[in-house]
Amino acid sequence: MFGGGGRSRNVKFRGEDYQAELHLTMKDVSVTHQQTMKVDGKDIRITIYAGVEDGQKIRLKGYGGQGINGGPNGDLYITFRIEPDAQFKREGANLYTSTELDLYVAVLGGEITLDTLTGKIKLKVPPETQNGTRVRLKGKGLPVYKKDGEYGDLYVTYQVRIPTSLSEKEKQLFQELSKLR
């Protein structure tokens, strides 16, 4: 007789890998947080690190399809999708925004309040600030991915707002100013 004692072999197969997309806002990306996803009817709690990039993938080993005949489970691959933000443009950990600046503040200097992803901040505007001036706020951008205490910068471009609906007195004052030049 040939063959081997009537013993059958169970071949182990690795489970299927799963793909998922997770959509986040710029605000979500500004802080490390946990989120729960449902995969195959099971809740999976994942940590999303601040500074994650659009299109970045992570692998959760063993969270894919179940293995066959005792084989290992597949993996879960999550691709992050960061929604475009109306106020901030992102380049790496740096953020870019613009804010309107009242003509009188641009000419005379003053203080403005600016919204950031982490709250409001006050900015001093020097006198004679020109339209299109860009200022850099060091460390006020997004956190650098998985690097504690490292942050990008926030660049703010001033858009000087010219007043409309001037009164006759205001127009006269501007005309007097123009004669002084």
Nearest 5°: CA angle at 87, between 86 and 92?
100
Tell me the mean pLDDT in the region 145-156: 95
CA atoms within 13 A on the CB side of 98: 9
Q: Please, which pLDDT band fits residue 95 given cuts at 50, 70 and 90?
A: very high
- CATH fold group of domain 18-82: HSP40/DNAj peptide-binding domain (2.60.260)
By DSSP bridging, strand 94-102 and strand 110-116 are unpaired
Residue range 96-108: mean pLDDT, rounded: 94
The answer to whether residue 165 scores a pLDDT higher than 80 is yes
CB 122 within 8 A of CB 111: yes
Angle at 37 between CA 33 and CA 38, to 5 degrees: 165
Q: Are 155 and 134 in contact, with CB atoms under 8 Å apart?
A: yes
pTM over 0.75? The answer is yes
Strand-pairing partners, residue 37, are: 44
For residue 5, what pLDDT band results from cuts at 50, 70 and 90? low
What are the extents of the domains in the chain?
A: 18-82, 89-179
CATH 3.40.640.10 fits 89-179, yes or no: no
Sort strands 89-91 and 94-102 into parallel, antiparallel or unpaired.
Answer: antiparallel
Phi, psi of 58 (to 5 degrees): -125, 155
What CA–CA distance (Å, rounded) separates 71 from 10?
Answer: 10
Enclosing H/E stretch for 121: strand 119-125
Maximum pairwise Cα distance, the chain: 116
- Quick one: which of 104, 108, 107 has its CA closest to 163? 104
78 has a pLDDT exceeding 90: yes
Alpha helices in the chain (DSSP H): 26-29, 103-108, 168-179
Examine the pLDDT at 163 and tell me if it is beyond 90. Answer: no
The DSSP secondary-structure symbol of 179 reads H
Quick one: average pLDDT of 24-47? 92
- For residue 152, the tally of other CB atoms under 10 A from its CB is 19
